[in-house]
Chain A
Amino acid sequence: MVDLDTLENDQPLLVAESLSKSYGRIAACRDVSFALYPGEVLAIVGESGSGKSTLLQMLSGQLTPSAGQVSYRMRDGVTRDLTTLGEAERRFLFRTDWGYVHQDPAQGLRMAVSAGANVGERLMAVGWNHYGRIRDTSSDWLTRVEIDIARIDDAPRTYSGGMRQRLQIARNLVTEPRLVFMDEPTGGLDVSVQARLLDLVRSLVAELHLAVIIVTHDLAVARLLSHRVMVMKGGRVIETGLTDQVLDDPREPYTQLLVSSILPP
């Protein structure tokens, strides 16, 4: 008998083929290709202006590439080019099978709406119509991201930075996506809160078998979370490989510089 699960995991979830984006004469991103498999965590590292965020936006269908294409294996098993998806399909994908964690939680949350409704919004968007069940699921997710249930009816603007980020993660994971994009999820948090958040993300990723593309300039985040690392500089991928291999034995001079820039603990 064929093991369906293995078969599933043998095929890439997302494939980028020679992605490029230029703004006039400025090339923000040049010729990026890779494949991401289910359950795999890929970190994109590099300094500001290296094209990380442009790449992330192209991968998540928010920005149309100047050249190249992104294809994604949908839940029905069919791999499709993102540019051929209609707007309705793309938006549906975005709120069901994908998650997007912004660096600034205010962008990813509705700040004036209670935490419970923030988590429940995606459920209501896919047609859930039972208040009790929506609320139970919301409470369940708040517990999983270690937010006190007593705060379920408070708006996220009353939350601390770390709680907002955890709420944003809960809001994204409630529809059980297979792929989550994270843009500097730990930016602006102090170190102890960062550590707790990373711990949480790592356990959720393992538990839910999530594929994650995480953009970060913090190599410690990449080391903790990711299986693979892509180093970007000037819009190009200059080095790619397994995380420990790249970070412990960097080949490119720029990667060596990045690694040696970390202050010793």
Chain B
Amino acid sequence: MDAVKNLFRNNVRQYGMIIALVAITLLFQILSGGILLKPLNITNLIQQNSYILVLAIGMVLVIITGHIDLSVGSVAAFVGSVSAIMMVNHGMPFFVALILSLLLGALVGAWQGFWIAYVRIPSFIVTLAGMLLFRGLTMIVLEGKSIAPFPKAFQKMSTGFLPDVGGGSVHTLSIAVGIVLSLLILAQEWRTRRTQLKYGFDVAPLPLFAAKLAAYAAVINAFTYVLAEYRGIPYILIILFALIVAYSFVMRKTVMGRRTYALGGNEKAAALSGVKTKKVTFWVFVNMGALAALSGLIYAARLNAATPKAGVNFELDAIAACFIGGASASGGIGTVVGAIIGGLVMGVMNNGMSLIGLGIDWQQGIKGLVLLLAVGFDIYNKNKTA
């Protein structure tokens, strides 16, 4: 029992945010008279927030290393506009343009990472400069106009759905994906448990474990079923899911992830323990650049246009998502899943408030308060346990 209590106490922040997300969802579900969780709206929610969530994944890495990136919105716009020129003006195939765009983003990240990691200019300043610089470049490249329309294949990345097989009123393939996914998770959890038993560690009692698995399966299948009722699983959800899984794995399980956390926790101690701190910082920014590029592409594809105003304030939403999701401004603490949950809290609030007809003015104010309260709650919690 103590183990359970400990587990809960150690993860109160993470669980706290999940509980908050569920509470906010239910609140708006009721306020909006049941519209929020309609299949169409859930699909919308995913597509609307995808580009912020992609940024949040990169941003949480940056924040874990103890830095910040203010330039991601501008970088997203810049890469989006360059991709438009490549695809729309020069008729470059979608796939080639995609790869080149991601490389361009990585190059931008390398540029900023160089100043931050090797010249040691504070990231706040470097990326503030980047925010101005790349916004300016966006306008230069676009000559102040929008470029449209994108090729169909490119648009599909943001707005397309997994094709259906079989037909019928619900989307069969989506339901099948849900079932396969829950089976995979079940197998994975079971394997972890077996290994832990082999090592002689304490594991949760079997009924609790079974309940957890049942809950996982229920949530996943309910989710895919709801999606199947509309048009099935959006492509963008698959991209997001792959990114979340990959980045969570890297941060939790790999040497690279460990070193990133160590660097953020105590840079000097990490350096004296053999972590190449400059190199890690540099690559975290390269990665941020590439993800900002992806975010810009997703946004451009969704809008079906590259515009000079794309990506304005994206950085603030992404940063807020990380902090709501439990990252620490002083570095060393934060998770990819946390940032995603933080992003969803913001996303559900945006969507919910729009559904009940709250003006953009109120939305902004309320989001600001939620950010403050979430971090305040976190600090209160920390002081209590210390």
Q: Report whether chain A binds chain B.
A: no
